[in-house]
Amino acid sequence: MSFHTRNTIYFYLHGKRIALRDVSPSLTVLNYLRDELHRTGTKEGCAEGDCGACTVVVADLNQQGCIQYRAINACIHFVPLLDGKILFTVESLKTNHGLHPIQQAMLDCHASQCGFCTPGFVMSLFGLYKTADKPTHEQLCHALSGNLCRCTGYRPIIDAGQRMYDYAQALAPEQQSALTHPYSAQETPSAWLSQLHELAAHTESLVIHHQQQAFLAPRSISELSHYLLAYPNAYLLAGGTDIGLWVTKRQQHLNTIIYLGQVAELDQISQTDEYLEIAAAVNLERAYQALVQHFPELQDLHWRFASLPIRNAGTLVGNIANGSPIGDSMPALIVLGARVLLRRGNTQRELALEDFYLAYQQKDLQPSEFVQAVRIPLRTSTQILRVWKISKRFEQDISAVCAAFCMEYQEGKIHTIRIAFGGMAATPKRATHTEQALLQQNWSLATLEKAQAALAQDFKPLSDMRASADYRLHVAQQLLHKFYLQTSGSSFVSELGDLHD
């Protein structure tokens, strides 16, 4: 089977068309910028997407043909993933008329001291500047959730984020450009749009061979399946928010990488009468926006899942396929009855998400098989959902415990109940003994106490740097108590009434 391929990466940087050949597939954007182009405004802080000093912005075309802007972490983003995009660094904001409105606002608000973190903050603000019109304080905080500052303090940075729009409005006509123009619902034609359409004309699959490495970016599911059958030990790459750390932290050599991001069928969110389907290349931000429309109770988990640059790059299905015991998506999806759609060649099969995890880092995946999508059943009118994440930091932190509860209550008794936890076992796991203690019971304090005792049968958690075993079990029992308090009494009856309405 033959496919049309090319061996050159094409993207735009600062108005210049870049063509790269013979580049390592695991070369990070950060190292490329600093070592090859000497654009040192982009900093290395943590090398794991945790501090934001390396933040850059990429632009590409969405499914409607409009430009979309995403802040990402350059330290864990591989250069071949820039193919077909425009890359903006802090140097890109330079204008012929002085500072960019964002930079001027940072200066006037005294939002920088040592300056090391400042370029990252500026680029996160630039991503917001191009995607939101005069955001709220909360939106600003979420946009900056992946940026750490150790000396300035966040208040003046937030002030700069609020003031940058006023500076944009005050620009003289000759100072206005696509670079300085903030978000507009009506994207006006620009050189950037022309550049992206030009890049989109390269419809061949990108295939790079460099020394002992290979990078394959198929354009269709059939091509992806073909490559996986040919290279069963290849690393599947979606957003790189996990695999990137294998390179930067473990110094791991990746022989063959197969990238999902160019497969149009995998960048889809669809809905039937029965379920919401989120395909493998849909990033976490889009995925959670879709989930929250159907399950508003997931909004807090959405904001707390990771920083915006991580959600802009990582994928929901990647979080599922990775199978981490502290993956925050899985407990919520498990209690909602989610199923994974698996594919090998032309063969598909479907599996309940809770059955996908066999043991620590072991999944029910055959060689050359991959997770094509996750299917989440649409909610029923009687479904009560709660999800809580417990961690040391509110944002950008790994869970000590993540708990999810989904219940239906009929005629004074618990009709159905599904409970799942992350951080309590070697895999995300349902609390089956606890569920049995609750099923068909009156929702009372006596029932709650039996269910809390049953949790000790379901889980024997470990102690680690995030929490002790005793703490985890105690927190899990208290979260069950919190669920009881929120779903019993008059407030619960009122909620049921609202759902039926």
Give the CATH number of domain 264-377.
Answer: 3.30.465.10
d(C-alpha 31, C-alpha 388), whole Å: 37
Q: How far is CA 93 from CA 7, 56, 73, in A?
A: 30, 11, 18
Whether residue 400 contacts residue 476, with contact meaning beta carbons closer than 8 Å, is answered with: no
Please state which CATH number belongs to domain 16-202: 3.10.20.30
For residue 494, pLDDT beyond 50:
no
Calculate mean pLDDT across residues 159-185.
Answer: 91
Give me the DSSP letters along 411-466. TTEEEEEEEEEESSSSS-EE-HHHHHHHTTSB-SHHHHHHHHHHHHHH--PPP-SS
Question: What is the C-alpha separation between 400 and 164, in angstroms, rounded?
Answer: 37
* pTM assigned to the model: 0.94
Where in the chain is CATH 3.30.465.10?
264-377
DSSP state of 175: G
Q: Please tell me the number of Cα atoms within 13 Å of 55 on its side-chain side.
A: 31
For 19-59, write each residue's pLDDT tens digit: 999 899 999 999 999 999 999 999 999 999 999 999 999 99
Question: Percent of the chain scored above 70 by pLDDT?
Answer: 96
CATH number attached to the domain at 383-500: 3.30.390.50
Q: How many CA atoms lie within 13 A of 286 on its CB side?
A: 22
Q: Identify the pLDDT of residue 394.
A: 84
The boundaries of every CATH 3.10.20.30 domain in the chain are: 16-202
Residue ranges, comma separated, of all CATH 3.30.390.50 domains in the chain are: 383-500
Smallest CA-to-CA distance from 147 within 226, 54, 235 is with: 54
**Could you report the per-residue pLDDT of 73-94, keeping only the tens digit for each?**
999 999 999 999 999 999 999 9
Helix or strand (DSSP H, E) at 404: strand 401-410
The type of residue at 319 is: N
For a pLDDT cut of 90, what percent of the chain falls above it?
85
